[in-house]
Structure 1
Amino acid sequence: MTPFAVDYRLTHPIALHVAFEIRGFTALLGRSGAGKSSLIKALAGLVQATGTPWAGLPPELREVGYLPQNAALFPHLTALENVAYPLRGRDRFERAKTLLDELGLLDLAPRPATQLSGGQAQRVALARALAHRPKLLLLDEPSSGLDATTRDATFTWLIDTLAARGVPALAATHDPGLAGFTDWMVLLSEQKIIREGTPRDLFAAPGSVAAAELLGFENIWQEEQSWFAARSTDFRPATAGREARIVRVRAHGSGLRLDCAMPQPVIVHTENTAEAFTPGATLCLHIAPDKLRRLRS
């Protein structure tokens, strides 16, 4: 897909000026309150803003589909009626049914919206957003309202469906795990874009402390004048390496979480449950050089 350039300035409800590209399915990753949802609504024409594209056009003239948080289906309508709602013409229900069929959702057509699961509602809401053939799909926290079991499956289905139809998308999220599924990531911090790139590149080299925090690195610390980041699974107890003191030991899934002081606080996840890890004891932590990310402050 051709990159889709965005350059927008907002003054309300948050002061924000951003310029970045949408490439395929793009994640806008940022903390709560950073302005993600405001930007999504501005692109949809629901919040006043200046810039390109579409700024100044009323919502009904923008070639976008908008998927708000929690799907927001009309509860008194069936799935089919929800999808047909934005369409016009005598054949709108037939067109809505065809779309549901194309998306593998035809069996949900007669169900009232109140009888759909979270994942089903999200898929029907996507069908409604695609009904008028938008040039861009906007998604506001698409994982909200989904449980852990259906979250990843629903999100990857969204990505695959849009790729098959050739529709670019911008999804606002605070979840780095979901953002990692996308084609392109844009990091929003302190009301500005701090980095953009592929998930592989950004996770491999966050570049800054702010980026590493957004990307979910559990361990970020300073040694002398340098900053570093590492995943909790990047460290492993070994016979040689960085000396650390165990502060706390907790069960974590099938393994253990070790809170350590190196002397900087670090979290280590290990599947080695045969060894006795005792608070107050000293151990050595090994980390492969390519797993240690050097950062800018």
Structure 2
Amino acid sequence: MQNQSCVTEFVFLGLSENPNVQKLIFIICLLVYIVTIGSNMMIVVTIACSPTLQGSPMYFFLAFLSLLDASFSSAMTPKMMVDSLYERKTISFEGCIIQLFAEHFFGGAEMIVLTAMAYDRYVAICKPLHYSSIMTRRLCGTLVGVAWAGGFLHSTVQIVFTLQLPFCGPNVIDHFMCDLSPLLELACTDTHIFGLLVVANSGLICIIIFFLLLVSYCFILVSLRSHSSEGRWKALSTCGSHIAVVVLFFVPCIFIYARPHTAFSFDKMVAIFYTMLSPLLNPMIYTFRNKDMKNAIRKVWNQLITVSNEK
């Protein structure tokens, strides 16, 4: 099926059309973006420079998750900031496709990484004697490779769907970014089948992975009954951080993608959770509740300050 689109650009309505509100949106987005990139890269640098954390699979996955969060935020937030400075917010057809690809590429990879992190915690808590023999460097590297490949495959399928759609006139998107549901609303054809494919490729995957993660954490919580009170508290603290991150990411995604492509006015507010707030809060959740991470950050940055002062 050949695409018969004649639309060369799309127009975003954004979060608001009020100039004063748009200025406020720019300031908030700028602050959120700076903190998001700074905190996520701080985690990556800390883990890379800390010998005690480098050899741990949990921190290996955490560094990769932080890198994905920084990339995911960079695919959405800068464009949103720039648009808030203009009355007319446009994006080219090609730019829209690139943004759509980046969103689902990094988002799909993050789902797999969160699953790998849950598996790592399951092995550490439920099979501690076999942890080092199971969570090898080779397995960790393979899981990261699967995350990249899975994100690429998931995103490619979405793009193939979208490129089949003809856009022959309407080009106003009631959103702050290109996404599947708003684009399906603009297509000049019956999109019922495409909507079902989107639900299958995005919504169903989100639900299945989210269910598997919840089941794995239930197994972990049940197994904690045989641990000492100190070990139980430490495991609960770690798992609590993971569960918070999983809920922040998956619940909004399920709401957006696991239903028919009817657009709701509050979809934009829900999308903010997984495009801006989740990458912002993930580093805080992992560092504030993790004594080893806080100590490593303090040590690494003290070393960096000492080196810079000596120069």
TM-score interval, smaller chain? under 0.3
Structure with more of its chain in helix, by fraction: 2
Q: Which one scores higher on RCO, CA 8 angstroms, separation ≥ 6?
A: 2
Question: Could you tell me the TM-score, scaled by structure 1's length?
Answer: 0.24
Question: Could you tell me the TM-score, scaled by structure 2's length?
Answer: 0.23
